[in-house]
Amino acid sequence: MRQKRNSDPAIVKWGLIAAAMLYLGVTLFLPLACVFASALQKGLGVYFAALVDPDALSAMRLTLLIAAISVPLNLVFGVAASWAIAKFEFRGKNLLLALIDLPLAVSPVISGMIFLLIFGAQGYFGPWLIERGIKIAFAVPGIVLATIFVTFPFVARELIPVMKAQGNDEEEAAITLGANGFQTFLRVTLPNIKWGLLYGVILCNARAMGEFGAVSVISGHIRGLTNTLPLHVEILYNEYNFAAAFATASVLVLLALVTLVAKRSVEHKFRLEKTGGNPE
């Protein structure tokens, strides 16, 4: 009885659930369904033809290459930065924290433009680079740099709270037991943060593969050379090649779904890690 008096009427509960479902339906499920419907509109033949198109394949290769470079780099950077922030006191710590958040605060287009401003032909280092025949803007190195910039907060932001909550005790215990720095990291720190790290890497990877704004500015959209998957979708779309555009887009959507599933399954273990429970 008591419970009934304190709870809202059923109509409120179901009303809210219905509203949430409707909202998600219109903004998420409908577009998702549309992507696959449009992709398969002209049949499976056209769908797969769009995927094995040389330009599409090269876009996929480039996207994978960029993720393969930027994710490991951000993993190393993220672990180092969160280690420094969580376990040491130093001047400029707050500045470092703010800088880590910077890519999340600025529009990705601006991130791309920054690199253009630095490495572009009219940029600060442009002439110097051109003289030496080094291409950064409108080439793969530029795309990699922009992607690293946009995705570097993900790993660090996941790890900082985990490491802060865990403190230094276990590392100090390992040292008193005779472990050196590397052994301490490998046997104590890393296992303690592994789920948080994986979680950060999944998010980082999803963003690295899906980044559009920053990459769009710096890449120059050179087909077969500097086109990533999201850019390739845009080009096809602008050419009114809808079936191919959506077919390519469906690859990105599948990637997103895989990411979501992976994220969900890691999330549970990650929470245990945060609260200090053991994952067995």
Instruction: Name the site residues for other proteins (rule: CB under 8 A).
Output: 169-170, 172-180, 183, 187-188, 191-192, 276-280
Q: For other proteins, give the closer residue by CB, 187 or 223.
A: 187
Q: For other proteins, give the closer residue by CB, 8 or 280.
A: 280
Q: For other proteins, give the closer residue by CB, 135 or 187.
A: 187
Q: For other proteins, give the closer residue by CB, 133 or 178.
A: 178
* Least separation in angstroms between CB 45 and other proteins: 51
* Least separation in angstroms between CB 126 and other proteins: 47
* Rounded-to-integer distance, Cα 77 and Cα 99, Å: 13
Helix 190-210 / helix 242-275 crossing angle, nearest 10 deg: 160
SS3 content of the chain, % helix, strand, coil (to 5): 80, 0, 20
Tokens 């056209």 found at: 46
* Least separation in angstroms between CB 77 and other proteins: 24
Q: Tokens in use for 101?
A: 């958040």
Q: Where are the beta strands (DSSP E) in the chain?
A: none
* Least separation in angstroms between CB 274 and other proteins: 12
* Rounded-to-integer distance, Cα 196 and Cα 214, Å: 26
Q: First CA to last CA across the chain, in angstroms?
A: 39
